[in-house]
Amino acid sequence: MQYKIMRELLLQISIHQVEGKEILFYGFIGLLLFLAVIRQSFPKYFTDLFRLFFRTTLKQRHLSEQLTQTPLPSFLLNLLFFMVAGLYLTFWLETTHRNPFSNFWWLILCMSGVVAAAYLVKFITLQFTGWLFKAGDAATSYIFTVFTINKMAGLFLLPLLALMAFSAPWVFSISLALSWVLLGGLLLYRIGLTYRVVRKQINISGFHFLLYVTGFEIAPLLVLYKLFLLNFS
């Protein structure tokens, strides 16, 4: 009898009621199906991507060339990242009560578009900078590394987003904190990895690379964060 009472109490504490989230549930199913289709259609791409990310092989240049030569799965995983990032930002804005739209789905569409536009501008800027300073190979390697980390971020964030969407408030808070730790770790990993990659192709000091990171990686994030606080209140 006591066991049954304790079990019901635990269920009441841990299970979050999600009435009205049926469309969101089907949206997650759609994202998972989209990921499953990519995974089943391009299994070798996924294997090489994880091997390259976790540095489990010495043939990293060979893997990079192979991944570069398969643009379709790369493009599809970039789309997945944009959608996941848009959903993540939407959850954050909803939690802080800064949704400027009356419709939840308009905010997801807007945030996904903002992320895609930001990385499109970043891509064009890096390509132009590489052409301008005759460092096209270094710019290409840098872009490849950035988007590789983005793909992994999308894959890692997806299960955390599911917890944030359908769990109790305390689980949401823990998942959000874990996501910040994850994104911070990926950002530091990306900075270290891009420095090693670029340094092999052009003569650049650690100080100048740090200036670049501060001006073109960290500063835009802080500006976007400030814009969100000012315009999405």
pLDDT in tens, 3-28: 455 555 444 444 444 455 778 888 89
Burial class of residue 145 in the structure, from the number of CB atoms within 10 Å of its CB (0-12 exposed, 13-18 middle, 19+ buried): buried
Q: How far apart are CA 23 and CA 216, in angstroms?
A: 37
pLDDT in tens, 15-63: 444 455 778 888 899 999 999 999 999 999 999 898 888 875 556 777 7
127-169: pLDDT as tens digits: 888 888 788 888 888 889 899 999 999 999 999 998 888 888 8
